[in-house]
Amino acid sequence: MAIRVPVPDWLKVWVGKNKSALRSSQALQAEASIHTHALHTVCHAARCPNRGECFNCGDATFMVLGDRCTRGCRFCAVDRKRPLPPDAQEPQRIARAVKEWNIRYAVLTMPTRDDLPDGGAAHFARVLQAIHVSTPEVKTEPLISDLQGNTDSLKCILQARPDVLAHNVETVQELYAQVRVGADYRRTLTLLENVKKINPAMLTKSGFMVGLGETQPQITALMKDLRSVGVDLLTIGQYLAPSVGHYPVARYPEPSEYEDWKEQALALGFKAVSSGPLVRSSYRAGQLYRTALIASEPTKKI
């Protein structure tokens, strides 16, 4: 049996503040709206520690195609159950919620849907299109699965004109077999590379967790691999085990280490990096996008 590494006090304080924020009137209104529109969010499905903070800022990451995944990654809290068919009304419900919340930068993710021939790409594209019709000024960032490496599925999503295409590498190559059941490190890199081949101007984004047992040379190699396929934006955050049955936490890096990783990533050429213990893929995504635009065109007013 693996020895459980104690959570440091400073991290408990940070997580506790976010949990307290869930009791605010604005957070409660956000929860009510999610329930009213019968929506799924990765904030709930992945038990995100930032939920209170984000709901108080009017942010949420919508989960398209339900909250059931066909894979069983050992780090993930999303249910591994038999998925339901795509909901034809979901695109309009999400579009209405984006408009009612006055969201200006919409992040949408998805469970892996290996049960669908296109991985769910066509349905996901319809959600993006519904948002563009309802609120054309809203920027969109789909955080997609690997689509089993299907290039046609990837093209389908890109044809819906997102502003950033995100796909997470999650961990270093050496830990894939232990942590990411059904996933493939090279397939992830190829998907991100194909985005640039299809649309060289498209900003791409990826993220990974630390605290799973990776080494510093492995982290460096991972960041170099992501840059080699043109990834522009990067997020780095602490892995928090959803339960004792999930993959165990190996360590809790100090906050200063995240600053070192950020500096290293920027030196490698990433346009924008968000790095911190509670950073998640969608955390302050709009701000990271604007930072990347400024890095791409320093004289352009954002």
Tell me the per-residue pLDDT of 273-289, one tens digit each, with 9 for 90 and over. Answer: 999 999 988 888 999 99
**Positive or negative, the Cα torsion across 279, 201, 265, 209?**
positive
Residues of the chain with pLDDT under 50: 1, 42-46, 301-302
The whole-number pLDDT of residue 90 equals: 94
Listed in sequence order, the residues at least 6 apart from 88 whose beta carbon sits closer than 8 Å to its beta carbon are none
Which residues share a beta bridge with 170?
Answer: 208
Architecture of the domain spanning 9-296? Alpha-Beta Barrel (3.20)
The whole-number pLDDT of residue 174 equals: 97
The pTM score is: 0.87
The whole-number pLDDT of residue 74 equals: 85
The whole-number pLDDT of residue 11 equals: 85
> How many Cα atoms sit within 13 Å of 109 on the Cβ side?
26
Tell me the per-residue pLDDT of 1-20, one tens digit each, with 9 for 90 and over. Answer: 456 788 888 888 877 766 66
The whole-number pLDDT of residue 72 equals: 80
CB 167 within 8 A of CB 146: yes
Could you give the CA distance from residue 288 to residue 32 in angstroms, rounded to a whole number? 28
The whole-number pLDDT of residue 45 equals: 45
Domain boundaries, the chain: 9-296
